[in-house]
Amino acid sequence: QSALTQPASVSGSPGQSITISCTGTSSDIGSYNYVSWYQQHPGKAPKLLICDVSNRPSGLSSRFSGSSGVSNRFSGSKSGNTASLTISGLQAEDEADYYCSSYTINSPVVFGGGTKLTVL
Amino acid sequence: ITLKESGPTLVKPTQTLTLTCTFSGFSLSTGGVAVGWIRQAPGKALEWLALIYWDDDKRYSPSLKSRLIITKDTSKDQVVLTMTNMDPVDTATYYCAHRLDGSGSDSFDYWGPGTLVSVSS
């Protein structure tokens, strides 16, 4: 059982916006602004989309190329013990699994259970 | 930056697994740099295992801490993960990844392709 709870699946039509939630506790998301989001296509390694709740990594590391950077269609936010990833202008290529992660009081990294995004 | 995992594809139950991450494009002797290991059982979620920092600080997943050892060899640009007492439930793709510089999060911006390890007698 993952420490962070994500919906198993979400779906949306091309052009729409969708939001994926990631719920933790006061021992992780609620106390630290250290939430990250990853995208994973089948058979591929995960790709970092967001770090520190709402930062796209291409803006932090001068060496980050991250597979040609991260689109500004991806954005992150946090409220209380829940973090969210919003994808705007949904595209077919966004169909993938999405994982959140957070720093916790017991460990520097814990992942969520993952959310499968289907583009209708 | 590139990373690549190597090691056995099949281990027997109770055996010890040793995986090597060979990387290029950065040095683990540079301040702020870290390398982590993450695994993913077939059809399951990502699971963080361990992190080693440039100053040799090491962090482990609380649930697996007793079975894991992570070390680095800066002269070879390698990080080694050892996991003892392997069980069929440890069957997974094992990834090593570079920790993103300049952020507060221990997030991973570069990943190896992963190596599938099966545990079976």
Across the interface, do B114 and A45 touch by the CB < 8 Å criterion? yes
Q: What is the pLDDT of residues B16-68, one digit of tens each?
A: 999 999 999 999 999 999 999 999 999 999 999 999 999 999 999 999 999 99
Establish, for the pair of chains A and B, how many residue pairs have beta carbons separated by less than 8 Å.
88
Alpha-carbon dihedral B97, B98, B104, B107, rounded to 10 degrees: -20
Beta bridge partners of residue A116, listed in sequence order: A9, A97
A37 vs A52: CA distance, rounded Å: 9
Question: Which residue from A35, A40, A106 is facing B62, i.e. has the nearest CB?
Answer: A106
Percent of chain A scored above 90 by pLDDT? 82
Phi, psi of A18 (to 5 degrees): -130, 155
- The minimum CA-CA distance between B114 and chain A, rounded to whole Å, is 7
- In our burial notation (b when 16+ CB lie closer than 10 A, e otherwise), range A10-45 reads bebeeeeebebbbbbbebbbbebbbbbbbbbeeeeb
CA dihedral B28, A111, A117, A33 (to 10 degrees): -80
The lowest-confidence range among A91-100, A106-115, B49-58, B96-105 is: B96-105
Average pLDDT over residues A110-120: 97
Residue of A60 and A42 predicted with greater confidence:
A42
How close does chain A come to B102, measured CA to CA in Å? 6
Identify from A107, A111, A115 which residue to disrupt to test chain B contact, counting B C-beta atoms within 10 A and taking the largest count. A107
